[in-house]
């Protein structure tokens, strides 16, 4: 196996694990969560942005757990700001002062649907190193942010992760997560995708072992 092929395979497995962690985190049961709502309001008001959100990057969509300045919604993942943000090296913030000046974002879903021009985001990185999504700031006009604002964004992103990672969230959502992982494994088996089966099965066993410990 060439080095390039090996790296591609590793990236695919890492993304499968990331998607599984999104599912098992329990965040999908946190729509409208009060603490996350406070975080997005704080980051928007303290930086002067009209819009902010906790965006979760699933397999094909971006799901907004909470939003400030607009109603939470879903966006398609391809070409999106948040998809790019979780892939930034070392999980550094993604800064887009003007999407119209960057070809890769000119047709981003938020640009098309909300006329977003400026986007700044810090990834929501779990304690074991997986980016679930982002805490993001959006504006309909071009703008920049300073170092202090970026540090606030990073700090509040860490706070949002701490809220998401609380055990009750994952436990409350565990039955759904197990059912969904099982379904994905069945589809992977049908597609004869052994690599995907192995990754998803490992994640399922990890969750079941965790639940056995919690529930006795």
pLDDT at 203: 85
pLDDT at 4: 54
Q: What is the pLDDT of residues 47-72, one digit of tens each?
A: 999 999 999 999 999 999 999 999 99
Instruction: Report, as an integer, the average pLDDT of 17-36.
Output: 92
pLDDT at 8: 58
Rounded to a whole number of angstroms, the CA Rg of the chain reads 18
Banded model confidence at residue 210, pLDDT cuts 50, 70, 90: confident
Q: Where are the domains of the chain?
A: 3-22+170-215, 30-164
Q: Check pLDDT > 80 for residue 5.
A: no
pLDDT at 86: 97
Banded model confidence at residue 104, pLDDT cuts 50, 70, 90: very high
Q: Domain 30-164 in CATH: superfamily?
A: GAF domain (3.30.450.40)
């Amino acid at each position: 196996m060439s080095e390039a092929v090996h790296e591609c395979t590793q990236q695919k497995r890492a993304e499968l694990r990331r998607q599984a962690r999104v599912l098992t985190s329990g965040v999908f049961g946190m729509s409208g969560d009060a603490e996350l709502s406070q975080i997005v309001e704080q980051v928007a008001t303290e930086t002067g942005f009209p819009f902010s959100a906790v965006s979760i990057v699933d397999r094909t969509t971006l799901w907004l757990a909470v939003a400030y300045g607009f109603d939470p919604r879903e966006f398609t993942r391809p070409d999106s700001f948040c998809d790019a943000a979780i892939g930034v090296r070392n999980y550094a913030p993604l800064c887009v002062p003007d999407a119209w000046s960057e070809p890769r974002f000119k047709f981003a879903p938020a640009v098309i649907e909300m006329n977003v021009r400026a986007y700044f985001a810090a990834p929501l990185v779990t304690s074991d190193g997986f980016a679930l999504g982002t805490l993001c700031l959006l504006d309909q006009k071009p703008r920049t942010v300073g170092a202090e604002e970026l540090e606030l964004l990073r700090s509040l992103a860490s706070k949002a992760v701490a809220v998401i990672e609380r055990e009750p969230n994952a436990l409350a959502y565990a039955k759904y997560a197990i059912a969904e992982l099982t379904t994905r494994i069945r589809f992977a088996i049908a597609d004869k995708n052994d690599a995907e089966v192995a990754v998803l099965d490992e994640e399922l066993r990890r969750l079941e072992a965790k639940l056995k410990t919690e529930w006795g």
